[in-house]
Amino acid sequence: MTLTISGISHHTSPLELREQMAFSEEVLPQSMQRLKRLFPEGGAVILSTCNRVEVYVRSERPAMETFQQVRQFLSSQHGIPEDTFSNHLYEYEDREAIRHLFKVASSLDSLVVGEDQILGQVHHAYLVAQSEDTTDKILRASFQRAFKVAKEVRTRTNIGTGKVSVSSIAVDLAVSIFMNLADKTVLIIGSGDTGELALRSLVERGAGKVMVANRTLANAQELASQYAGDALSLDDLQSTLHAADIIISSTASKEPILQVEHFQAALKQRDRAPMLVIDIAVPRDIEAQVNQLDNVYLYDMDDLKQVAESNLEARLAEFDRCLEIIDHHVDQFIIWRQSLHAEPTIVSMTQEFNMIRERELEKTLAMFPDLSDAERQEVEYLTRRIVGGILQRPMTQIKQEVIRDDPNTVLRLVKRLFGLEDPS
């Protein structure tokens, strides 16, 4: 009943590697299906964000075997040799895997500790796996418990107080460069949630004009209309780039959509007025060499990590308290999962006792043919209560014993005592 996690994140790998190993929304469902075929006895969930790629697998195989199969899957999926990413890969099993999932969902492992976007991303990954039917009982319970733990962490601690998200970092950078945003134009490329949050934050801090560019013009128009802005298609980007003082890009493009020459042309039209460019896409939307241009301030996700680390003190003061909550729930989850070892034997016990009950009930009712239907139902109900009462304490004790002791030893003894066949 092994649960494993194999992953890379901003803690362990450079942005270039995370770009190579990211799963796009288009391939995510079929990738989960492929994993499910590798582990038909269990299931899989893939979490792919700007800052992490993690594969959650539940199988009946030894952890080392599962890790190896996941490494082969990642290598095949992305067309890269294992030795390209193996040194950056972290691998957890069972208790540590559960603890890591709870930390991720609670935003204790995030680029910005305490941010709330990761919980939505974990939930989305889980929903995709659910819709593709790639989860099993253990995975479902693991993720559902993770959501509850994340809620408790956020409500019982101040981990989110003064939180710094990508959107607030964008505002801080913009203010540090331009001081006053009232006469500045913001260009958002892509109409996803992250870009919209950044746009909202900049408008709230006084940004003067808004432009939204998207591959689908209708989506750009929908977002731009909320801020009385202008909508553009991606084909219009190069001709309008010069008008933007602040650019935030978060598309799902597999290749950069803006190169050095586009910014060189824009700077010339702007008389070299400064431009702040925040690329929060993975893979990146903006060619990295753009950062070498004078008066262009380009930040990618790794740069944002450095900015975020300077604003962690208030949240880190709550970190240990959050871990206490997580560790308590990890203990409770492990106890619950350990108790599952007893389920087949308990089912077998219940079936055996009820077969005896039904056999004896049938004999007894045959001796009293004049009983009414109501009376016969009451007698049957009585026998069910008796069997349930007899089994309640042994079943509870069996669950407790498999938690405290070796489950196989306990269950073999129970089967011998009650004459049970091994459940299928």
Band of the pLDDT at 162, cuts 50, 70, 90? low
pLDDT greater than 90 at residue 144 = yes
- Report the residue count for the chain: 424
Backbone angles phi, psi at 90, to 5 degrees: -105, 145
Does 233 or 406 have the greater pLDDT score?
Answer: 233
The owner of tokens 């418990």 is 145
Q: What is the pLDDT of residues 264-312, one digit of tens each?
A: 999 999 999 999 999 988 889 999 999 999 999 999 888 877 776 666 6
Task: Say how many CA atoms lie within 13 Å of 324 toward its Cβ.
Answer: 7
Tokens found for residue 234:
């991606």
| Longest CA span, the chain | 104
Does 84 or 391 have the greater pLDDT score?
Answer: 84
**Residues with catalytic annotation?**
50
Q: What is the pLDDT of residues 208-257, one digit of tens each?
A: 899 999 988 988 888 889 888 999 999 889 999 999 999 999 888 888 99
Which whole number is the average pLDDT over 39-43? 93
Cβ neighbours of residue 280 closer than 8 Å, sequence gap 6 or more? 50, 166, 194, 195, 198, 248, 249, 250, 300, 301, 304
**Distance from the first to the final alpha carbon of the chain:** 16
Does 82 or 254 have the greater pLDDT score?
Answer: 82
Report CA-CA distances (Å) from 173 to 107, 123, 275.
23, 30, 11
Does 339 or 201 have the greater pLDDT score?
Answer: 201
Q: What is the per-residue pLDDT for 423?
A: 46
Q: What is the per-residue pLDDT for 47?
A: 97
Q: Which segment, 116-125, 185-194, 262-271, is predicted with the most confidence on average?
A: 262-271
Does 115 or 326 have the greater pLDDT score?
Answer: 326
Measured CA angle at 338 (ends 332, 341), to 5 deg: 150
Tokens found for residue 217:
């013009």
Q: From 2.30.110.10, 3.40.50.720, 1.10.3720.10, 3.40.50.10420, which CATH number describes the 166-309 domain?
A: 3.40.50.720
Q: For residue 8, what are the β-bridge partners?
A: 53
Tell me whether domains 2-162 and 166-309 share a fold: no
**CATH architecture for segment(s) 2-162:** 2-Layer Sandwich (3.30)
Report CA-CA distances (Å) from 271 to 183, 268, 298.
16, 5, 18
- Comparing CA positions, the residue from 305, 221, 232 lying closest to residue 247 is 232
Q: What is the per-residue pLDDT for 191?
A: 67
Q: Is 185 left (phi over 0), alpha (psi -120 to 50) or beta?
A: beta
Question: Is the C-alpha dihedral spanning 72, 78, 83, 89 positive or negative?
Answer: negative
The rounded mean pLDDT for the chain is 88
Report CA-CA distances (Å) from 224 to 159, 195, 202.
33, 12, 14
Q: What is the per-residue pLDDT for 424?
A: 45
Does 165 or 114 have the greater pLDDT score?
Answer: 114
Does 197 or 389 have the greater pLDDT score?
Answer: 389
Q: What is the per-residue pLDDT for 421?
A: 63
Q: What is the per-residue pLDDT for 193?
A: 75
Tokens found for residue 402:
């498999």
Q: What is the pLDDT of residues 87-108, one digit of tens each?
A: 999 999 999 999 999 999 999 9
Band of the pLDDT at 158, cuts 50, 70, 90? confident
Map out the domains of the chain as residue ranges: 2-162, 166-309, 341-418
Distance CA 260, CA 273 (A): 16
